[in-house]
Protein backbone atom coordinates (compact mmCIF):
# COMPACT_ATOMS: atom_id res chain seq x y z
CA UNK A 1 0.00 0.00 0.00
CA UNK A 2 2.71 2.49 0.97
CA UNK A 3 4.82 1.72 -2.09
CA UNK A 4 1.79 2.26 -4.38
CA UNK A 5 1.09 5.61 -2.72
CA UNK A 6 4.74 6.62 -3.01
CA UNK A 7 4.85 5.46 -6.63
CA UNK A 8 1.74 7.53 -7.41
CA UNK A 9 3.10 10.62 -5.64
CA UNK A 10 6.43 10.42 -7.47
CA UNK A 11 4.63 9.75 -10.75
CA UNK A 12 2.39 12.80 -10.26
CA UNK A 13 5.39 15.02 -9.43
CA UNK A 14 7.30 13.84 -12.49
CA UNK A 15 4.20 14.22 -14.65
CA UNK A 16 3.58 17.78 -13.43
CA UNK A 17 7.21 18.70 -14.13
CA UNK A 18 7.01 17.24 -17.65
CA UNK A 19 3.64 18.89 -18.33
CA UNK A 20 4.81 22.35 -17.28
CA UNK A 21 8.07 21.94 -19.21
CA UNK A 22 6.11 21.10 -22.37
CA UNK A 23 3.71 24.02 -21.84
CA UNK A 24 6.64 26.41 -21.36
CA UNK A 25 8.32 25.02 -24.48
CA UNK A 26 5.15 25.61 -26.51
CA UNK A 27 4.79 29.14 -25.11
CA UNK A 28 8.41 29.90 -25.97
CA UNK A 29 7.97 28.58 -29.51
CA UNK A 30 4.79 30.61 -29.91
CA UNK A 31 6.41 33.80 -28.70
CA UNK A 32 9.37 33.27 -31.04
CA UNK A 33 7.14 32.66 -34.07
CA UNK A 34 4.62 35.36 -33.20
CA UNK A 35 6.01 37.84 -30.66
CA UNK A 36 3.88 40.13 -28.52
CA UNK A 37 3.49 43.71 -29.68
CA UNK A 38 3.55 46.71 -27.37
CA UNK A 39 1.04 49.40 -28.41
CA UNK A 40 2.58 52.79 -27.65
CA UNK A 41 -0.73 54.66 -27.86
CA UNK A 42 -2.68 52.58 -25.35
CA UNK A 43 0.20 51.10 -23.36
CA UNK A 44 -1.20 47.57 -23.80
CA UNK A 45 0.58 44.43 -24.82
CA UNK A 46 -1.17 42.88 -27.80
CA UNK A 47 -0.90 39.10 -27.91
CA UNK A 48 -1.14 37.76 -31.48
CA UNK A 49 -3.29 34.75 -32.34
CA UNK A 50 -0.19 32.63 -33.01
CA UNK A 51 0.92 32.88 -29.39
CA UNK A 52 -2.57 32.02 -28.20
CA UNK A 53 -2.75 28.96 -30.44
CA UNK A 54 0.70 27.86 -29.23
CA UNK A 55 -0.53 28.15 -25.63
CA UNK A 56 -3.63 26.05 -26.36
CA UNK A 57 -1.51 23.41 -28.13
CA UNK A 58 0.90 23.51 -25.19
CA UNK A 59 -1.92 22.88 -22.73
CA UNK A 60 -2.96 19.79 -24.69
CA UNK A 61 0.52 18.42 -25.40
CA UNK A 62 1.77 19.18 -21.89
CA UNK A 63 -1.21 17.60 -20.17
CA UNK A 64 -1.16 14.59 -22.47
CA UNK A 65 2.57 13.98 -22.07
CA UNK A 66 2.65 14.53 -18.32
CA UNK A 67 -0.53 12.55 -17.67
CA UNK A 68 0.50 9.65 -19.88
CA UNK A 69 3.90 9.44 -18.21
CA UNK A 70 2.37 9.65 -14.72
CA UNK A 71 -0.18 6.95 -15.55
CA UNK A 72 2.53 4.66 -16.91
CA UNK A 73 4.83 5.18 -13.91
CA UNK A 74 2.09 4.78 -11.31
CA UNK A 75 0.35 1.92 -13.13
CA UNK A 76 -2.96 3.65 -12.48
CA UNK A 77 -5.02 6.62 -13.61
CA UNK A 78 -5.04 8.83 -10.52
CA UNK A 79 -1.60 10.38 -10.94
CA UNK A 80 -2.39 11.43 -14.50
CA UNK A 81 -5.58 13.17 -13.42
CA UNK A 82 -3.59 15.00 -10.73
CA UNK A 83 -1.34 16.30 -13.51
CA UNK A 84 -4.41 17.46 -15.43
CA UNK A 85 -5.68 19.22 -12.30
CA UNK A 86 -2.37 21.03 -11.92
CA UNK A 87 -2.48 22.23 -15.53
CA UNK A 88 -6.11 23.29 -15.11
CA UNK A 89 -5.24 25.20 -11.95
CA UNK A 90 -2.32 26.96 -13.62
CA UNK A 91 -4.36 27.76 -16.72
CA UNK A 92 -7.29 29.19 -14.79
CA UNK A 93 -4.93 31.19 -12.56
CA UNK A 94 -3.20 32.59 -15.64
CA UNK A 95 -6.50 33.47 -17.30
CA UNK A 96 -7.89 35.18 -14.21
CA UNK A 97 -4.76 37.18 -13.40
CA UNK A 98 -4.42 38.39 -16.99
CA UNK A 99 -8.17 39.08 -17.25
CA UNK A 100 -8.60 36.79 -20.24
CA UNK A 101 -11.92 36.26 -21.97
CA UNK A 102 -14.40 33.66 -20.76
CA UNK A 103 -13.56 31.31 -23.62
CA UNK A 104 -9.88 31.19 -22.63
CA UNK A 105 -10.90 30.21 -19.10
CA UNK A 106 -13.24 27.55 -20.51
CA UNK A 107 -10.53 26.18 -22.82
CA UNK A 108 -8.12 26.17 -19.88
CA UNK A 109 -10.44 23.63 -18.25
CA UNK A 110 -11.68 21.64 -21.27
CA UNK A 111 -8.36 21.11 -23.07
CA UNK A 112 -6.54 19.47 -20.12
CA UNK A 113 -9.55 17.24 -19.39
CA UNK A 114 -9.66 16.03 -23.00
CA UNK A 115 -5.87 15.55 -23.01
CA UNK A 116 -5.92 13.54 -19.77
CA UNK A 117 -8.80 11.40 -21.03
CA UNK A 118 -6.86 10.75 -24.26
CA UNK A 119 -3.73 9.94 -22.26
CA UNK A 120 -5.72 7.53 -20.09
CA UNK A 121 -6.90 5.68 -23.17
CA UNK A 122 -3.38 5.66 -24.65
CA UNK A 123 -1.79 4.46 -21.40
CA UNK A 124 -4.35 1.67 -21.09
CA UNK A 125 -3.62 0.41 -24.61
CA UNK A 126 0.19 0.53 -24.20
CA UNK A 127 2.02 -2.69 -23.34
CA UNK A 128 2.51 -3.31 -19.63
CA UNK A 129 5.63 -1.90 -18.04
CA UNK A 130 8.06 -4.37 -16.49
CA UNK A 131 7.72 -4.75 -12.74
CA UNK A 132 10.65 -3.95 -10.50
Q: What is the pTM of this model?
A: 0.83
Between 131 and 83, whose confidence is greater?
A: 83
DSSP per-residue codes, 36-104: -EE-TTT-PEEPPHHHHHHHHHHHHHHHHHHHHHHHHHHTSSHHHHHHHHHHHHHHHHHHHHTT--HHH
- pLDDT-derived band at 86 (thresholds 50, 70, 90) equals very high
- pLDDT of residue 61 exceeding 70, the answer is yes
Residue-range domain boundaries for the chain: 2-125
Between 132 and 40, whose confidence is greater?
A: 40
Amino acid sequence: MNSNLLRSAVAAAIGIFVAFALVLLAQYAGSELSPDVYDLETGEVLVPIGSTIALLVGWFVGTFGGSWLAMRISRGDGAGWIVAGAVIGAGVYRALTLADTWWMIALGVVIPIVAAWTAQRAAASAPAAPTA
